[in-house]
Amino acid sequence: MSESSTMQSTTNRSTTPTGSAFTEQIQQGWAERPQTTPEPRASAAPAAERRARISALHPGVRLVVPAGGLKVRSNDTDYPFRALPDFSYLTGWGSDAEPDSVLVLEPVRGDERSDERSDDSTASGHTATLYFRGPAGRGTTEFYANPAIGEFWVGPRPSLPHVAADLGLAVADLAELAAALEGEADALVVTGADAAVEAQIAGANPDGDILARDLSELRLVKDAYEIAEVQAAVDATARGFDDVIADLADATQHERGERVVEGAFHRRARLDGNTVGYDTIAASGHHACYLHWTRNDGQVRPGDLILLDAGVEVDSLYTADITRTLPISGEFSEIQRRIYDAVVEAADAAFAVVKPGIVFKEVHAAAMEVIARKTAEMGLLPVSAEQSLEPDQQLHRRWMVHGTSHHLGLDVHDCAAARRDFYHDGIVREGMVFTIEPGLYFQADDLTVPEELRGIGVRIEDDIVVTADGAVNLSAAIPRTADEVEAWMREVRSR
């Protein structure tokens, strides 16, 4: 079990009775819970295919993928649980996954290979078993006296048969994990999620965490289920952006209007039954120049721009990552529009080069060619755009220091353990999902730019999927050009 508030003592304020009268009384008188056997959820079949792929990469090796546990926010309060993405990828278990669960892919020995199994747990050369903490039962102390995991406190846990049917996986109680992890010489474990599990399989990962690496590299190309989930997250994000526009005038009346904006987006995510995939960036005025401004404690002033970078995460844990930069009054000023149009041009240039077979970094290069040319045209560069684009110059990057694209999926910055040769320097393939998000940011105290530019920050971020011969913009329905944004704001405000 990983570090969590489970480990924290609350004995200095516990009021739980310990007498036998209470103990006997609270452990009895509960109705049996009806047992249900659901049909496998939509993620079950794609997860089985992914297990087969990782199995084929590591024949004869035990593969261990922990979900991770609750993480302490402070003292005895935890953050909401979110399973390790590699675990969700291989099990299909999303927002309802149980903390401390572990997926084990056990290599099938030669003499077992002919065995017929009636479930869907055989991942070619491995047998998959999901270990999780099943219901403790109302006859236990945990049931009523453990605030971290007791069902009286945090709600019921699903039964083993229920999860087995739901995910189409063989399951076992977490209590059986330790025995299952004994006695296999060759093992790989995804590290960083569950130190206790890692400690139980000492000797694993002789060449480092190549299991996390391989899973990240498999995750680079999305299957049809994943693309549909990202699309659902993008569509839900679009609804949140509509609500923000509807509340923008109210936000200008509040001394922390950025929080009103953040709240409007979050409220829509919750109204739709979702959450957010990362902390919302609601960056008004010069805050838009801080790339990951999440403090969101500033005012929202008419005449300024507000940069909203936000994404809904759906139950499967797939997230969107969208940015729109809006004129708070509803119309761009001339200088704001000039910067905005330059960023649109950079985004369009990046989008235009995307197709299978290019190298991922070419997407960034296409956007940078425009950013260099535009900043040269504005008279900001002491050299030509061509000179600035030289690897040892890059002066235009002062106004866009971040990359143009990152993969997107179960993580907002997806596939983090993939090797550079597969990611930045990797070949773009059909089914990849990534962002295109150029920007221009002129900090309020940047003495190298004319005063009229200072404090203007613009980013436009879309989520795209690579097709057989190009790409589709999953967020195309969210207005994007300056004219479209102004018309969108008029339309939402007239509702």
Q: Which residues sit at the interface with ligand GLY, rule CB under 6 A? A: 278, 309, 321, 406, 412, 437, 461
Minimum Å distance from CB 309 to Mn ion? 4
Q: Binding of Mn ion at residue 309 (CB under 5 A)?
A: yes
Q: Residue 359, SS3?
A: strand
Judged by beta carbon distances under 5 to 8 A according to partner kind, the member of ligand GLY, Mn ion, none in contact with residue 411 is none
Minimum Å distance from CB 248 to ligand GLY? 20
Q: Binding of Mn ion at residue 198 (CB under 5 A)?
A: no
What are the residues whose beta carbons fall under 8 Å from the beta carbon of 288, sequence distance 6 or more? 305, 306, 307, 325, 441, 456, 457, 458, 459
Q: Which residue has the tokens 């489970």?
A: 6
Q: SS3 helix, strand, coil % of the chain, rounded to 5?
A: 35, 15, 45
What are the residues whose beta carbons fall under 8 Å from the beta carbon of 365, sequence distance 6 or more? none
| Cα torsion 222, 228, 232, 237: sign | positive
DSSP 478: S
> Strand pairing of 187-189 and 77-78?
unpaired
Judged by beta carbon distances under 5 to 8 A according to partner kind, the member of ligand GLY, Mn ion, none in contact with residue 82 is none
| Nearest CB to ligand GLY, comparing residues 92 and 409 | 409
| Nearest CB to Mn ion, comparing residues 33 and 413 | 413
C-alpha span between 246 and 223 (Å, rounded): 35
Q: Binding of Mn ion at residue 247 (CB under 5 A)?
A: no
| Nearest CB to ligand GLY, comparing residues 291 and 444 | 291
| Nearest CB to Mn ion, comparing residues 148 and 464 | 464
- From the list 68, 87, 67, 70, the residue with the least C-alpha distance to 79 is 70
Judged by beta carbon distances under 5 to 8 A according to partner kind, the member of Mn ion, ligand GLY, none in contact with residue 278 is ligand GLY
C-alpha span between 314 and 335 (Å, rounded): 37
Q: Binding of Mn ion at residue 262 (CB under 5 A)?
A: no
| Nearest CB to Mn ion, comparing residues 198 and 321 | 321
| Nearest CB to ligand GLY, comparing residues 86 and 437 | 437
Minimum Å distance from CB 433 to Mn ion? 12
Minimum Å distance from CB 282 to Mn ion? 12
| Nearest CB to ligand GLY, comparing residues 292 and 490 | 292
C-alpha span between 221 and 219 (Å, rounded): 5
Q: Binding of Mn ion at residue 214 (CB under 5 A)?
A: no
Minimum Å distance from CB 110 to Mn ion? 47
Site map (CB under 5 A) of Mn ion, residues 452-491, x = contact: ---------x------------------------------
Radius of gyration of the chain (CA): 26
| Nearest CB to Mn ion, comparing residues 325 and 375 | 325
Judged by beta carbon distances under 5 to 8 A according to partner kind, the member of Mn ion, ligand GLY, none in contact with residue 98 is none
Q: Determine the size of the site formed for Mn ion (CB under 5 A).
A: 4
Q: Residue 143, SS3?
A: helix
In 250-334, DSSP assigns E strands to 275-276, 281-284, 305-310, 312-313, 322-327
Q: Which residues bind Mn ion (CB under 5 A)?
A: 309, 321, 435, 461
